[in-house]
Amino acid sequence: MTATTTESTSPTAQVEEDTDSMAEPCTAPVASAALPALAAIQAPAPVVAPYLGLVASVLCALGGGWLLLAPYALDIRRGATKVPRTAAVELETGAAITAVALLSAIFFAAALFSRLRPRVDLAECETEPEIETDQETAEHQAAEPDPEPEPDPEPELEPDAEAESAPESEPRTTFAAASNSSRALREMLTPLVAALAADLRSQEQAGHDQERGDQRRRQES
Amino acid sequence: MSANVPAQRCDRIEPGRAELPSISVAVPRPKAPITALTGLFLVALLGGWLIAAPFVLGDQARGALWTTATRTDVATGAAIAGIAILGLFGYLAAAITWLARYGR
């Protein structure tokens, strides 16, 4: 319910809709050129499944706790000095259920937190979709130097200020993720805009040619 | 009417939506918490054992009224087993839903 709403309004769905709406007037090479940038956009992590498991585990642990209390709360011993076998079975099973359910809850919580953690490996998905050796990477870097060096994202920061803000790594990772996404968006939109401009130019040229042809026909007639 | 319609100015045929390459979104598939799922399955088995224990161990006489301990065991065991199985199926359903939407 909540997850459905969250997933339906996810950025991926919006990007897919936008891509569909933008892709129609473009040619195929332009669309394929925009694909690497789109590949960097990731789907939301599946958090509903471990959340359901966590809730079920906690409820089972509560049931096990009730089993531990039941022989005393319901007075199953009835004043006997020795614990009856029924109560012993309840206590042992309750202890086992509580322990196993608590362990499951801990593992489900760990899985949930790991999936909720923000993923900052957008640049790796964007630039290196396949695993390469160091030598191949060095060859690629030597063969294809970056034609457009990225401008410094923080030109106003002084070196001292950078050294002071070194321990704060979270804002830097957030900023890096934001710059990566904006770069991906720019890479996606640049060929589209170029193709649109070329298309407009060719249409204007064709219109001029047709007008000249019409004028010639009129002059000839 | 035909005079108002602009002439075709470009001979190029634009590609349709079906001709465009399909866009594959990168989806890092997370690892399933196998240990936690196994634990939940064990809890379901323990709930089943709790239901059967009074009858298997002979604490509940056949045909007699259920004692307080038997009622507690059966009710609590059924609740625990039901919750664990529901949790497992819920996890499975949510995972399949996510895979159907994003897994390619």
Task: Say what the pLDDT of residue B12 is.
Answer: 67
**Chain B residues with CB inside 8 Å of A129's CB?**
26
Phi, psi dihedrals of residue A14, rounded to the nearest 5°: -65, -40
Task: Say what the pLDDT of residue A220 is.
Answer: 84
Task: Say what the pLDDT of residue B73 is.
Answer: 93
Between helices A170-220 and A28-39, what is the axis angle to 10°? Answer: 170
Task: Say what the pLDDT of residue A84 is.
Answer: 84
CB B50 within 8 Å of CB B76 = yes
| Tens digits of residue pLDDT in A55-91 | 999 999 999 999 999 988 888 777 777 888 888 999 9
Task: Say what the pLDDT of residue A1 is.
Answer: 39
- Name the token pair of A12: 């991926």
> Which sign does the torsion angle of CA A160, A166, A167, A172 carry?
positive
**Chain A residues with CB inside 8 Å of B57's CB?**
85-86, 89
| Tens digits of residue pLDDT in A188-219 | 888 888 889 899 999 988 888 888 888 888 88
CB B39 within 8 Å of CB A103 = yes
> What mean pLDDT value characterizes chain B?
83
Mean pLDDT of A143-161: 50
**Would you list the DSSP string of B46-68?**
HHHHHHHHHHHTT-S-TTSPPPH
Task: Say what the pLDDT of residue A158 is.
Answer: 46
Predicted confidence band of residue A19 (pLDDT cuts 50, 70, 90): very low
User: B93 to chain A nearest CA, in Å?
Assistant: 8
Per the DSSP assignment, residues forming a β-bridge with B26 are A42
- The answer to whether the CB atoms of A39 and B26 lie below 8 A apart is yes
Any idea what the Cα angle at residue B74 is, between residues B73 and B79, rounded to 5°?
Answer: 100
Least confident of A13-17, A42-46, A128-132, B81-85: A13-17
- Name the token pair of A174: 């957030």
Q: A35 vs B63, which has greater pLDDT?
A: B63
**How many other CB atoms are found less than 10 A from the CB of residue A122?**
20
CA distance A191 to A184: 12
Task: Say what the pLDDT of residue A219 is.
Answer: 86
**How many other CB atoms are found less than 10 A from the CB of residue A33?**
18
Among A101, A52, A107, A62, which residue's Cα sits nearest to residue B41?
Answer: A101
pTM: 0.53
Residue A30 exposed, middle or buried by CB count within 10 Å (0-12, 13-18, 19+): buried
Nearest to A56 among B20, B35, B87 (CB): B87
- The answer to whether the CB atoms of B59 and A86 lie below 8 A apart is yes
User: B48 to chain A nearest CA, in Å?
Assistant: 11
- Residue B74 touches chain A, beta carbons under 8 Å: no
Give A69-130 as a 3 state SS string. HHHHHCCCCCCCCCCCHHHHHHHHHHHHHHHHHHHHHHHHHHHHHHHHCCCCCHHHHHHCCC
Instruction: Give the number of C-alpha atoms closer than 13 A to the C-alpha of residue B62, restricted to the C-beta side.
Output: 2
> What mean pLDDT value characterizes chain A?
70
- The answer to whether the CB atoms of A35 and B21 lie below 8 A apart is yes
Nearest to B53 among A28, A89, A203 (CB): A89
- Name the token pair of A120: 């900052």
CA distance A210 to B80: 80
Task: Say what the pLDDT of residue B7 is.
Answer: 66
CA distance A213 to A203: 15
| Tens digits of residue pLDDT in A162-188 | 444 444 555 566 666 677 778 888 888
Phi, psi dihedrals of residue B26, rounded to the nearest 5°: -70, 120
